[in-house]
Amino acid sequence: MDQVDVTACERCPALVDCRSRIVNGDGPLDADLCLVGEAPGAREDEEGRPFVGRSGSVLDEVLREVGPGREAVRIVNCVRCRPPENRDPSAGELANCRSYLERELAAVDPAVVVTLGKVPAEHLLGESVAVTKAAGGVREARVGDRSYRVVVSVHPAATLYDDTQREPFEAALATAADLAGVTDDTDGDGQSRLGEF
């Protein structure tokens, strides 16, 4: 168990009723790249890891394409418990979970944070964000008492409903990997991942 894991929390009654477990962050605590999603879905709630459903398959595939691979990045959600019917987390739920996210980002201290979708973009940037327009943009976000370089991205699920979102999704992750300096081959097979495009 990581020192940033939450083992017990009862702050959000609706989420406590819905969840099977708390879904903590996943991946190395010294990662240069940290991806922030919205909240666990059904598969994540079952398995206890973020992004293990269909969105997670797309995310894993694109991370492999742009270089680091999932094993090299930290992945965490704004909210650690599954909302009922996969609704968006409420402002109160986001606020309740914020200190855990702040603690995790401070521990990882990544060179770059990627927001996956509208909810994490707005949560970290503290403003309304039109994600399809903002995707690929590089911003600065104050989270707790630290600042992070943030790359805005569409959510991987968007690519499942709309083919045209695949390219901006790949481009945002490629920008983030490049800024974080993690585009090298990391699985030791000697193949440059960028060369696969």
* Residue pair 110/36 in contact by the 8 Å Cβ criterion: no
67 binds ligand URA, rule: CB under 6 A: no
77 binds ligand URA, rule: CB under 6 A: yes
110 binds ligand URA, rule: CB under 6 A: no
44 binds ligand URA, rule: CB under 6 A: yes
Q: Could you give the CA distance from residue 151 to residue 141 in angstroms, rounded to a whole number?
A: 10
Which of 25, 27, 37, 67 is close enough to bind ligand URA by CB under 6 A?
Answer: 37
27 binds ligand URA, rule: CB under 6 A: no
User: Residue 26 has what DSSP assignment?
Assistant: B
- Residue nearer to ligand URA on the CB measure, 28 or 185: 28
Residues numbered 113 to 132 that lie near ligand URA (CB under 6 A) are 116
Binding segment toward ligand URA, per CB under 6 A, in 40-48, 130-138, 170-178, 185-193: 40-48
Which of 40, 89, 136, 168 is close enough to bind ligand URA by CB under 6 A?
Answer: 40
The amino acid at 98: R
Burial of 77 (0-12, 13-18, 19+ CB in 10 A): buried
* Residue pair 81/12 in contact by the 8 Å Cβ criterion: yes
Among 142, 120, 145, 140, which Cα is nearest to 131's? Answer: 120
Residue nearest ligand URA by beta-carbon distance: 37
104 binds ligand URA, rule: CB under 6 A: no
* Residue pair 68/107 in contact by the 8 Å Cβ criterion: no
The amino acid at 95: A
- Residue nearer to ligand URA on the CB measure, 32 or 44: 44
Partners of residue 139 on adjacent β-strands: 150
* Residue pair 124/134 in contact by the 8 Å Cβ criterion: no
* Closest approach of ligand URA to the CB of residue 72, in Å: 18
Residues that bind ligand URA (CB under 6 A): 37-41, 44, 50-51, 53, 55, 77, 116
